[in-house]
Amino acid sequence: MERNVRKKGNLMIFGTAFLWSFLGIITKTVSFNGLVVAGSTSLMALAVLILFNRGRRLHWNGLAVLTGVVAAAMNLSFFLANKYTTVANAIVLQYCSPVFVLLYYRFFQKRRLKKQQVGVVGLCLAGLVIFFANQLGSGNMFGNLLALFSGVTFAGCFYLNALPDNDPVCTQLMQHGLCALAGLGSIVLSAGKFRDMGEWGIVLAGGLLCSGMAAELYAEGIQRTTALNANLIAMSEVIMAPLWSFVIFHEALGGMAALGAGLMIVAILYETWFEARDLA
Question: Taking the model in full, what pTM does it have?
Answer: 0.80
Let me know the angle formed at the C-alpha of 167 by 9 and 12, rounded to the nearest 5 degrees: 20
Give the pLDDT of residue 218: 84
Q: Which residue in 27, 58, 20, 75 sits closest to 218, CA to CA? A: 20
**Is-contact 273 51, C-beta < 8 A?**
no
Confidence of residue 70 (pLDDT cuts 50, 70, 90): very high
Q: Tens digits of per-residue pLDDT, 75-118?
A: 999 999 988 888 878 887 887 887 888 888 888 888 777 777 77
Give the pLDDT of residue 91: 82
62 pLDDT more than 90: yes
Percentage of the chain with pLDDT > 90? 17
Amino acid at the residue 116: Q
Question: DSSP assignment of 18-33, as one string?
Answer: HHHTTHHHHHHHS-S-
Q: Which residue in 220, 269, 160 sits closest to 5, CA to CA? A: 220
Give the pLDDT of residue 235: 75
Helix (H) or strand (E) run with residue 49 in it = helix 34-52
Q: Tens digits of per-residue pLDDT, 10-25?
A: 889 999 999 989 988 8
Q: Tens digits of per-residue pLDDT, 42-51?
A: 998 898 889 8
Q: Is 224 helix (H, G, I), strand (E, B) or coil?
A: coil
Amino acid at the residue 203: V
- Domain residues for the domain of 41 are 3-279
Query: Which stretches within 85-114 are classed as H helix?
Result: 87-94, 97-108
Give the pLDDT of residue 68: 95
Mean pLDDT calculated for residue range 241-267: 78
Q: Which residue in 150, 216, 158, 171 sits closest to 63, CA to CA? A: 171
How many other CB atoms sit within 10 Å of the CB of residue 63? 18
- Greatest Cα pair distance in the chain: 57
234 pLDDT more than 70: yes
The number of folded domains in the chain is: 1
**Is-contact 82 25, C-beta < 8 A?**
no
**Is-contact 175 75, C-beta < 8 A?**
yes
Centroid of chain to Cα 263: 20
Give the pLDDT of residue 279: 52
Higher-confidence position of 250 and 153: 153
Question: DSSP assignment of 252-264, as one string?
Answer: ---HHHHHHHHHH
120 pLDDT more than 90: no
Give the pLDDT of residue 127: 79
- Residues 270 and 103: their CA atoms lie apart, in Å, by 17
212 pLDDT more than 60: yes
Confidence of residue 149 (pLDDT cuts 50, 70, 90): very high
